[in-house]
Each structure stands twice: as structure tokens, then as C-alpha cells.
Amino acid sequence: VNVLNSFSEDIVAMAKKIKLLALDVDGVLTDGSIYIDANGNESKKFYVHDGYGIVSIREKFGIETVVISGRSSEALLYRLKELNITKYWVGQTDKLAAINIILQEGSIASHQILFVGDDIPDLDVIENVGLFVAVSNAHKMVKNKAHYITQKSGGCGAVREVCDLIEYSYENRN
């Protein structure tokens, strides 16, 4: 991965420990837009490069991705199936509760979780993850508390950027 080494040494060091990628959906995996037709059917736009990054870190390094979303939609469930993301919480406004379930399972420690968020509800997890990332179009309070802010915006390559960070970190482990 040629990212021109744009990641700081501190962030790379934190990313080397990551074993689980946890993502919000609206504003992270999507640009935050929700399309609703006259019949009430909802659709979302996903960025194909984000999906490739998710699959790539799973295949190369065994890093699974979980999704924790305050909303649920058929479009999201379809995309999760496409990406073979089998662990997810939808309609889950308490994101910390989902993180705590992961931690209670015992195979992942908090410092091994990278969470990507964009809005105030995502801040609840910050003390319980090793690396908290805000997308570039996140709420100001989220960006102020994040360990790292992506250059790309949600739904437009931010998740791929995070996957590239993980890949770069793993390839430069010593």
C-alpha cells in the first residue's frame, strides 16, 4: 500500500495492535444521505473502495469488521451480506453496549479495537477502544476527540483510508 507514509508514527504504532475494525454506518460507510422513494423504500450509497479495503484486511491479516448503527435498513443488511460482515448491531443507539459485548466475549481487548465514527453518539465508545477515528466530515466535537481524522469523507473512501492505515501498520511491524 503506497500511502506516501502520511500516517504519524504514533497512529501507526496504535494501528499495529488492531484486531477488530468497528464502524458506524450513516456518515462513515455512507455519506450520510438517506434516499427514500414515494413508497417509503430506503436506499443508501456505498463506496466500492471501502468494501475492498474491508475484505482486504480480513483476507490478509484476519481483521474482522463489525458494524454498529443507530439505524437499520434493508440496503445496509444487503451490503453487510455482500461484504460477509456477520457481526453487526443495527438499530443500536447505544454503541458502547455493543463494544462491551465484544469485550465480554474475551477474544478482543479494548486496545485492539479501531472505531470509526462521525457524530456525537459515537463518542461514547472512545474510552473503550484503542484507536478512535473520525471521518473528515464528522461533527466538530468528534474530530476534536479523535486520535486520527481521515482525509477522505464518510462514504467517499474514509473507511478505505483506515483499512490502508491498518495494512500499512501491519506491513511495517517489527
Q: What is the pLDDT of residues 80-131, one digit of tens each?
A: 999 999 999 999 899 999 999 999 998 999 999 999 999 999 999 999 999 9
Work out whether the CA dihedral 18, 45, 76, 124 comes out positive or negative. positive
The pLDDT value given to residue 174: 65
Cell numbers representing residue 35 in the block? 434516499
Measured CA distances, 108 to 24, 25, 105, 111, 142 (Å):
19, 21, 7, 8, 24
The one-letter amino acid code at 122 reads D
SS3 category, 26: coil
What burial letters (b/e) apply to 28-59, b meaning 16+ CB within 10 Å? Answer: bbbbbeeeeeeeeeeebebbebbbebbbbbbe
CB 93 within 8 A of CB 70: yes
The torsion angles phi and psi of 67, rounded to 5 degrees, stand at: -120, 135
Of 81-90, 145-154, 165-174, the poorest mean pLDDT is in: 165-174
User: Going by CATH, does the domain composed of 9-171 fall within 3.40.50.1000?
Assistant: yes
SS3 category, 20: strand
Q: Where are the domains of the chain?
A: 9-171
